[in-house]
């Protein structure tokens, strides 16, 4: 199986549009279409349905996606088993705050060979077996030779359409969100972000609705743009793009500011020469005084391993 085609399929599934997948992979949209068409031919099924809102996974595409991720992870582990190479860092998503933090490191240290990857789940298994050198995660506890260093507080904002009751507010408090439906179909129970948003909702009595299939960011944006009663939450550092006609509004949340606590996670015995440079570069991240964060995510320079 052509792993470049598999990689392109995963990128398109994550992005929700072939155009965005092309940008993430630094190839043309035509190349994305050709690779996915070749993969569909090899598998004998349709993986996507093209709509005006983007590319939506078919039932077969949804079934294939976790196995496609496993194929890419297996490729990474196979490569790591026979050679060293660039510093391999997982950023969860290429449009999220960790990607910007890593890009800042690359600009400051172009001499360090770097490979950016995106992995599902916790990524701890990939750190332990050496498939990747580090990952950006929100850390509750680390074990088995894994260490973590807090690196950045990212404020969480309300994102809503122009007709939403809070759209014209210069800022809102968490209490003002009570009674409003916050729709986040990408928040999966058991993930670190699922844990974070569950604690945020419990702390302030909010309703975060994760119901329905996750068709990607584009569908969420389309829906909240035309549905005044819906809103969602995004990180202030996330690169969320939408058509001008949507006229979406980012509304800051304060008093207190809820922040997503990003940490760098690595294996204690990892001796990659670029890892020390990355840790040093990230030592002076943004720490917001008086912010709300889960009790397990108080900032500190290093979270020691407990096992």
Residues 204-212 have a mean pLDDT of 87
Lowest mean pLDDT among 15-19, 47-51, 189-193, 289-293: 189-193
**Residue 289 Cα distances to 249, 258, 285, angstroms:** 25, 11, 13
pLDDT of residue 211: 79
More confident residue, 179 or 1: 179
Collapsed DSSP state (helix, strand, coil) of residue 66: helix
Give SS3 for 92: coil
Fold designation for 3-81 = Arc Repressor Mutant, subunit A (1.10.10)
- Which is more confident, 307 or 258? 258
CB 122 within 8 A of CB 138: no
- The reply to whether domains 3-81 and 83-152+261-297 share a CATH topology is no
Query: What's the pLDDT tens digit per position in 108-147?
Result: 999 899 999 887 666 777 888 788 999 998 875 666 688 8
- CA 74 to chain centroid, in Å, comes to 21
- Does 3.40.190.10 match the CATH number of domain 154-252? yes
Q: What is the mean pLDDT of the chain?
A: 87
300 by Cβ neighbours in 10 Å (0-12 / 13-18 / 19+) ranks as exposed
Query: Is the per-residue pLDDT at 215 higher than 80?
Result: no
Decide if pLDDT at 45 tops 70: yes
Give the C-alpha separation, 171 to 157, whole Å: 9
Residues in the chain: 307
Q: In the chain, what percentage of residues exceed pLDDT 90?
A: 51
Average pLDDT over residues 144-157: 89
**What is the CATH number that goes with domain 83-152+261-297?**
3.40.190.10
**Residue 257 DSSP label:** P
pLDDT tens digit sequence for 155-206: 999 999 999 999 999 999 999 999 999 999 877 776 778 889 999 999 999 9
Task: Indicate the pLDDT class of residue 22, thresholds 50, 70 and 90.
Answer: confident
Domain boundaries, the chain: 3-81, 83-152+261-297, 154-252
């Amino acid at each position: 199986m052509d792993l470049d085609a598999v990689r392109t399929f995963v990128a398109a599934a994550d992005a929700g549009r072939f155009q965005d997948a092309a940008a993430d992979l630094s190839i043309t949209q035509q190349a994305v279409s050709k690779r996915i068409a070749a993969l569909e031919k090899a598998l004998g099924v349709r993986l996507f349905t093209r709509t005006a809102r983007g590319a939506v996974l078919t039932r077969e595409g949804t079934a294939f996606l976790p196995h496609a991720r496993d194929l890419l992870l297996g490729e990474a582990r196979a490569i790591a088993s026979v050679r060293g190479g660039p510093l391999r860092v997982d950023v969860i998503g290429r449009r999220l705050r960790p990607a910007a933090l890593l890009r800042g490191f690359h600009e400051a240290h172009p001499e360090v060979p770097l490979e950016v990857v995106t992995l599902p789940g916790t990524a701890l298994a990939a750190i332990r077996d050496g498939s990747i050198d580090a990952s950006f995660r929100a850390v509750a506890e680390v074990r088995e030779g894994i260490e973590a260093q807090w690196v950045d507080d990212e404020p969480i904002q309300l994102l809503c359409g122009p007709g939403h009751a809070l759209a014209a507010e210069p800022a809102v408090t968490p209490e003002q969100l009570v009674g409003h439906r916050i729709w986040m179909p990408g928040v999966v129970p058991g993930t670190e972000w699922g844990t974070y948003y569950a604690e945020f909702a419990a702390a302030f009595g909010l309703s975060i609705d994760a119901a329905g299939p996750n068709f990607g960011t584009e569908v969420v944006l389309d829906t909240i743009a035309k549905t005044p009663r819906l809103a969602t939450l995004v990180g202030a550092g996330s690169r969320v793009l939408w058509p001008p006609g949507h006229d979406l509004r980012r509304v800051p949340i304060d008093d207190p500011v809820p922040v997503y606590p990003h940490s760098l996670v690595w294996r204690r015995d990892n001796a990659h020469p670029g890892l020390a440079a990355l840790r040093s570069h990230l030592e002076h991240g943004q720490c917001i005084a008086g912010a709300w964060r889960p009790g397990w995510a108080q900032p500190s320079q290093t979270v020691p391993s407990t096992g």
